[in-house]
């Protein structure tokens, strides 16, 4: 295995003032070769004891106001919870990490972690693989109707795994047995899974070229509960708030953007146009799902048509405007992140990561590592550490920043951050799935 390269940022004030930094080969940070057999979950490969202090455990990782997803699961669905916050009480690595193990898997942003520590990741040929916390394979399931790569995963309250493969949603039991399969996508493509109260599956079918999108609900037994057409040519995956309402960003047939709110019966509660109704480009950077903050604030990004750059919009639970954060250049369109105190993290296309306070003012911004740009794939740990992906023209990888925007470390050759486990392991996706531990 090629050793992970990490840039360690000195924590002493004198070292920072002098600009001291050290290139460290992670293979030297642990006793033995990092390519050796994987250690047990939560145990440091050096044999010195737990990878995180016992004082940090146990944590209540249950998603707030989300009875549909598995309780105490570290990362039960994409962006962690139905609110798509991408933040967790679990504390990830604050010091230069090592690669505990790697697992080859097709490039993906879909990784979920169950309450017992089992990781579910896409495999080859439409399969899904269950991994133990030490990276060993527990089982592989291949739904009979799978025709393409697994796109999205989620774990409902009883531990059943929902899998979308580009065509259908499949229910896979914790043993790997397939309980049911239900076609949902008219012409294939994205269908971001979300789980509502009672274990119902919600998703957005983008429709065929030129056709309308629709919001779809599947009952826990696999029957199609309803399909609600949208007055839109394309729509983001849905997010679910604490009151059970679903929110999605869509572009109407006239290319005007709007945020839609639906109740659990597919009744349209309200829709809101961006304040000022500026011109936005529906096809520039894709449609990321909205975020839902702890106080009900809904946050989403929009890319403007030239000469407008776009920015980040926040509205209240009723769709009323709260704040607008303009970008000097367009946002990336990648998913955002939001913390319990309402801080929002988003990157623009120049590679700058913005930290935005709950009132819409800027807390700080970070221009990325020398030669690299941030790409807005962000997850946030319980201590406020921000993990953000880096992309070309530099070496790429993941950077860790503290809550004030100070760089803690850089790790190349690990790809983008996906999730944080209950034991503090940071999982990243590059040429393979990597488990990073202090």
Instruction: Say which residue the tokens 């991408």 belong to.
Output: 86
**Would you call 28 helix, strand, or coil by DSSP?**
helix
pLDDT in tens, 266-276: 888 998 887 65
Q: CA neighbours within 13 Å on the CB side: how many for 52?
A: 21
Q: Give the span between the Cα atoms of 213 and 224, in whole angstroms.
A: 16
Q: Give the span between the Cα atoms of 90 and 17, in whole angstroms.
A: 31
Class of domain 5-437: mainly beta
| CA 21 to chain CA centroid, nearest Å | 30
pLDDT tens-place values along the chain, 438 residues long: 444 444 433 333 333 333 333 333 333 223 233 333 333 333 333 344 445 444 445 788 999 889 899 999 999 998 999 999 999 999 999 999 999 999 998 888 889 999 999 999 998 878 899 999 999 999 999 876 556 678 889 999 999 999 988 788 999 999 999 999 998 876 665 667 888 888 899 888 877 665 677 888 999 999 999 888 887 777 788 888 887 888 988 877 666 778 889 887 788 899 888 765 455 655 554 678 899 999 999 998 877 665 566 788 899 999 999 999 988 777 776 788 999 999 999 988 788 899 999 999 999 999 877 666 666 689 999 999 999 988 766 556 899 999 999 999 998 878 889 999 999 999 999 889 999 998
Domain ranges of the chain: 5-437
Q: Give the span between the Cα atoms of 161 and 114, in whole angstroms.
A: 9
Listed residue (215, 193, 196) closest to 128, CA to CA: 193
Q: Give the span between the Cα atoms of 395 and 258, in whole angstroms.
A: 37
pLDDT in tens, 263-311: 877 888 998 887 654 556 555 546 788 999 999 999 988 776 655 667 8
Q: Give the span between the Cα atoms of 328 and 304, in whole angstroms.
A: 11
């Amino acid at each position: 295995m090629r050793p992970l390269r990490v840039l360690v940022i000195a924590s002493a004030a004198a070292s920072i003032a002098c600009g001291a930094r050290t290139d460290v080969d992670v293979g030297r940070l642990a006793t033995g070769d990092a390519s050796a057999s994987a250690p047990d979950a939560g145990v440091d490969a050096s044999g010195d004891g737990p990878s995180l202090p016992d004082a940090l455990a146990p944590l209540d990782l249950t998603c707030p106001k989300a009875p549909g997803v598995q309780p105490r699961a570290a990362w039960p669905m994409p962006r962690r919870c139905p609110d798509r916050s991408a933040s967790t009480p679990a504390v990830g690595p604050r010091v230069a990490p090592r690669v505990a193990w790697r697992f080859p898997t097709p490039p993906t942003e879909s990784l979920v972690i169950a309450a017992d520590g089992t990781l579910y990741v896409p495999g080859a040929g439409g399969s899904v693989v269950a991994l133990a916390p030490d990276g060993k394979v527990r089982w592989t399931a291949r739904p009979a109707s799978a025709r393409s790569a697994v796109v999205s995963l989620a774990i409902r309250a009883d531990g059943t795994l929902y899998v979308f493969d580009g065509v259908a949603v499949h229910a896979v039991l914790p043993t790997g047995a397939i309980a049911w399969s239900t076609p949902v996508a008219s012409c294939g493509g994205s269908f971001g899974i979300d789980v509502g109260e009672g274990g119902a599956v919600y998703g957005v079918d983008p429709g065929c070229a030129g056709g309308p999108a629709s919001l779809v609900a599947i009952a826990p037994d696999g029957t199609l509960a309803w399909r609600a057409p949208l007055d839109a040519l394309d729509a983001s995956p849905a997010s679910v708030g604490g009151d059970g309402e679903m929110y999605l960003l869509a572009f109407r047939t006239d290319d005007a953007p709007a945020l839609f709110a639906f109740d659990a019966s597919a009744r349209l509660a309200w829709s809101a146009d961006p304040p000022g109704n500026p011109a936005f480009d529906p096809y520039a950077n894709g449609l990321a799902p909205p975020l839902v903050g702890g106080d009900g604030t809904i946050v989403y990004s929009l890319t403007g048509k030239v000469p407008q750059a776009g920015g980040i919009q926040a509205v209240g639970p009723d769709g009323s405007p709260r704040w607008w954060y303009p970008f000097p250049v367009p946002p990336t369109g990648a998913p955002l992140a939001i913390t319990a105190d309402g801080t929002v993290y988003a990157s623009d296309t120049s590679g700058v990561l913005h930290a935005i306070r709950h009132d819409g003012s800027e807390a700080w911004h970070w221009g990325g590592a020398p030669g690299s740009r941030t790409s807005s794939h962000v997850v946030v740990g319980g201590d406020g550490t921000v993990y953000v992906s880096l992309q070309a023209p530099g070496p790429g990888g993941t950077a860790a920043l503290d809550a004030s925007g100070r760089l803690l470390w850089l790790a190349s050759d690990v790809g983008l951050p996906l999730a944080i486990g209950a034991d503090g392991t940071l999982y990243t996706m590059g040429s393979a799935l990597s488990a990073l531990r202090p």
